[in-house]
């Protein structure tokens, strides 16, 4: 038995998949048995709280603080989602803190990323119901913290080095002020564009812009291309699954469950985005929404976030083709 556990704990992607499966099982089982969307809220909170464990600097106190912040900030984030005039400047202000914490402190970056993801995505789902709908998800995030601590530090304490840790910045890093300015303008313009287009998933546009703006210009360009490719490939696979598995709800549910467990497991960014994009379509179908509409919204908002982030990065980066002046002609 010990030998089997030892072998299972070797591949990083398998470690992450097992940990994710353990984290989401109570919530998804609750939803499957009762049809109660609170199970989905619990599963999503547990997922977001358990993913940062890949970072070897994460300690139990980090997960506790992350859960407290998630619970405290969710009502405000949900209110902002329904009020674009207030949301856009708030997102821009949050980006100052987001970059400053990641660049100027020793707080594990994964904590900041997944707290942001939780707030953006959960607020997007809850905003049509109003701020009153956030009470139970906020409380569930606190209970999910206890379950995540048990999973990460007791049940399955093995760690894997994620692609975000293994990746190295290429080229010269932007200064902190320039990085902040890029993030502020990219997130603000993406949020504005998504709201003006009446997107049903503004969160995807905002997060796409945030995740593309890296500390290095070359790194940002590479990541933007990978995010676009992953989104197209994943949405195409999701649509194909809907067509092939039409009339086989049990098999569609099984595929959706597998993708949920594997959504943070891939060691390459393109594959990770692909899994999550396909899951966006299949999960929407499982929740009785339009999977086709979710796929279109996914592609649209990834494009908004990536394109506007690239425009900002190229405009503000030193030596950008958009800022170069013609060289003086020889006499």
| pLDDT of 75 above 60 | yes
* Confidence band of 158 (pLDDT split at 50, 70, 90): confident
Average pLDDT over residues 126-152: 96
Average pLDDT over residues 38-46: 96
Average pLDDT over residues 238-247: 90
Provide the CB-side half-sphere exposure for 285 (13 A, CA).
26
What count of residues does the chain have? Answer: 331
Least confident range from 55-69, 163-177, 205-219, 235-249: namely 163-177
Mean pLDDT of the chain: 89
* pLDDT for position 168: 47
* pLDDT for position 3: 59
End-to-end Cα, the chain, rounded Å? 81
Least confident range from 32-36, 130-134, 314-318, 326-330: namely 326-330
* Confidence band of 292 (pLDDT split at 50, 70, 90): confident
| pLDDT of 166 above 50 | no
Domain ranges, ordered by start, for the chain: 1-160, 169-319
Chain centroid to CA 179: how far? 20
* Confidence band of 163 (pLDDT split at 50, 70, 90): very low
Q: Distance between CA 251 and CA 160 in Å, rounded?
A: 30
Q: Tell me the two tokens of residue 11.
A: 């591949």
Task: Show the DSSP H helices in the chain as ranges.
Answer: 2-8, 12-34, 37-50, 60-81, 84-104, 109-126, 135-150, 163-166, 176-196, 202-212, 217-244, 249-262, 269-286, 291-316
148-154: which pairs have CB atoms within 8 A and are 24 or more residues apart? 148/23, 148/46, 148/49, 148/50, 148/53, 148/63, 148/67, 149/60, 149/63, 149/64, 151/19, 151/22, 151/23, 151/46, 151/50, 152/19, 152/50, 152/53, 152/63, 153/60
* pLDDT for position 160: 59
Contacts of 25 by beta carbon, 8 Å cutoff, 6+ apart: none
* pLDDT for position 245: 86
* pLDDT for position 288: 76
| Geometric angle at alpha carbon 186, from 284 and 299, rounded to 5° | 30
Q: What is the pLDDT of residues 256-281, one digit of tens each?
A: 999 999 999 998 999 999 999 999 99
| Contact criterion met (CB below 8 Å) for 283 and 184 | no
> What interhelical angle do 12-34 and 249-262 show, nearest 10?
140
Contacts of 97 by beta carbon, 8 Å cutoff, 6+ apart: none
Average pLDDT over residues 292-302: 93
| pLDDT of 133 above 50 | yes
* pLDDT for position 317: 77
* pLDDT for position 321: 45
* pLDDT for position 319: 58
* pLDDT for position 325: 47
Comparison of pLDDT for 55 and 187, the residue scoring more: 187
| pLDDT of 301 above 90 | yes
| pLDDT of 9 above 70 | no
Contacts of 125 by beta carbon, 8 Å cutoff, 6+ apart: none
């Amino acid at each position: 038995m010990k030998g089997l556990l030892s072998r299972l704990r070797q591949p990083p992607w398998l470690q992450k998949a097992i940990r994710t499966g353990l984290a989401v099982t109570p919530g998804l089982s609750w939803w499957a048995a009762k049809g109660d969307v609170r199970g989905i809220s619990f599963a999503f909170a547990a997922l977001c709280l358990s993913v940062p464990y890949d970072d070897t600097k994460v300690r139990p106190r980090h997960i506790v603080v992350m859960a407290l912040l998630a619970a405290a900030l969710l009502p405000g984030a949900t209110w902002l989602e329904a009020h674009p005039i207030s949301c856009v400047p708030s997102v821009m202000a949050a980006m100052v803190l987001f970059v400053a914490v990641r660049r100027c402190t020793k707080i594990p970056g994964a904590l900041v990323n997944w707290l942001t993801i939780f707030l953006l995505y959960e607020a997007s789902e809850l905003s049509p119901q109003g701020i009153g709908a956030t009470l139970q998800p906020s409380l569930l995030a606190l209970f999910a913290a206890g379950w995540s601590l048990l999973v990460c530090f007791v049940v399955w304490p093995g760690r894997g080095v994620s692609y975000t840790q293994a990746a190295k910045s290429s080229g010269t890093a932007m200064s902190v002020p320039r990085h902040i300015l890029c993030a502020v303008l990219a997130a603000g313009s993406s949020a504005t564009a998504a709201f003006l287009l009446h997107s049903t998933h503004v969160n995807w546009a905002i997060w796409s812009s945030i995740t593309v703006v890296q500390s290095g210009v070359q790194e940002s360009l590479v990541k933007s291309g990978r995010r676009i490719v992953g989104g197209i490939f994943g949405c195409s696979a999701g649509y194909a699954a809907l067509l092939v598995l039409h009339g086989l709800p049990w098999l569609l549910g099984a595929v959706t469950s597998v993708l949920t467990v594997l959504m943070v497991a891939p060691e390459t960014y393109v594959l990770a985005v692909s899994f999550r994009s396909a899951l966006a379509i299949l999960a929407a179908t499982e929740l009785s929404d339009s999977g086709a509409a979710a796929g279109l919204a996914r592609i649209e908002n990834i494009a908004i976030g990536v394109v506007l982030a690239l425009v900002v990065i190229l405009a503000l980066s030193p030596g950008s083709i958009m800022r170069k002046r013609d060289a003086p002609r020889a006499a």
